[in-house]
Amino acid sequence: MAKKITIIGTGYVGLISAVGLADFGHNVTGVDINKIVVDTLNRGEPHIYETGLRDYLHKNLDSGRLTFSTDVAASIRDAEVIFISVGTPSNGDGSADLSQLFQAADDIKNNLNGYKVVVIKSTVPVGTNRKVADRLAADGTAVDVVSNPEFLREGKAIQDFFHPDRIIIGVESERAKSVMQDIYRSLYLIQTPVVWCNLETAELIKYASNAFLASKITFINQMANLCDAVGADIHAIAKAMGMDGRISPKFLHPGPGFGGSCFPKDLRALAAMGEERGVRMSLVREVIQANNAQKLLVIEKLKDLLNTLNRKTVAVLGLAFKAETDDVRESPAVSIVDGLLRAGCRINAHDPIAMDNFKKKFPDITYCDHEYMALQEADALIICTEWNEYRNLDLNRVKQCMKGNLILDMRNLLNREQAKQTGFIYRGMGR
């Protein structure tokens, strides 16, 4: 049975969830206090970049099943199910800032007019769902809180929403479980596995999953660094490792470190959770530190090869933390560009879609309309993001554009032998 759903927060997770649940046949209202964002979404213009999002947004707006509003109170009263999808950024000590989440909970409490199921989609520390449940039930109003963490990969979020590996649902009442079964009934047709568990388990599954994947990335990055030191090939090593069914080939691609809105924030929160409870999270702490060091490794490599960075012009291709997204939050390119500027470099930058977001952090570097413009008179080229167009750079044209002949390929996109034959000093990751 179709449900009337309100989603508080129309950021990345909230917007993807809104269009997805509307496409399942539910009547969905996305709520945001930012009127400009709401008006833009109601016109069918997404404020984030995600492949396929615009088409799904138009489709479900046109069907009448999806709308966006700034009226938080009315949207709560009209809903049977309320999803909370607000941000939970890091505090200074690494713990999660839950102020937006608790504000949403208070808004719900102040507008309860009958039984509601409140679904927390935001990534929150263990115990948060239960705190929200206690907060909402303080006056005796019937309400059930459900933990339903998201596992959306930026760049593939639409695909992940409609074809998830699994759905995690922390629920402790049969009534709420029945509601959640109705919400995700469309996915039963493709036999998506559902893990039913308690609230604390659902909360920790999200953190455990992200911490493990981040650890895997950090491991292969450190192995790539060792390959550079001993003359081994990380591609062959990763391929052989991935053939082991216990390991799998995913997340065995070396690079300049992980970034984005999830992994760094979630690792910090997980470490803080453990320390708060007297549990040593030494591995998680080491992954955080190693990843920060990995982002700066490229600057050390460049300094060794150029002797000095002062007054050098560096072309940086790729500003988003990964391909197929415009998200630059904690992108390796942020640390790299900041380090280069501190060393006295001039920066020419290009990214297919993330330049506007990067400009908010670095308004004074040179942004170029295409990759070859960024290469003009450059002493060195750094490839930071694995965009497909960078895989097929015309190396002869690159050579003509650049003043120098140094390429630091932090994603191993280019053909190493071809680069050397064209006259470049080529350095990849672990190759």
List Cβ neighbours of 410 (8 Å cut-off, separation of 6 or more): 255, 256, 298, 332, 382, 383, 384, 428, 429
Q: What phi, psi does 7 have (nearest 5°)?
A: -115, 115
- Listing from the earlier edge strand, what are the strands of the sheet with 194-197? 66-69, 27-31, 4-8, 81-84, 116-120, 143-147, 167-170, 194-197
Q: Is 262 tagged catalytic?
A: yes
402: helix, coil or strand? coil
Among 18, 153, 148, 4, residue whose Cα is nearest residue 78 = 4
The catalytic position among 262, 345, 368, 401 is 262
**Distance of alpha carbon 16 from alpha carbon 65, whole angstroms:** 14
Is the distance from CB of 220 to CB of 210 less than 8 angstroms? no
Q: What phi, psi does 197 have (nearest 5°)?
A: -160, 180
β-pairing, 380-383 with 406-409? parallel
**Locus of tokens 């920060």:** 292
* Residue 7, beta-bridge partner list: 30, 83
- Kindly list the catalytic residues: 262
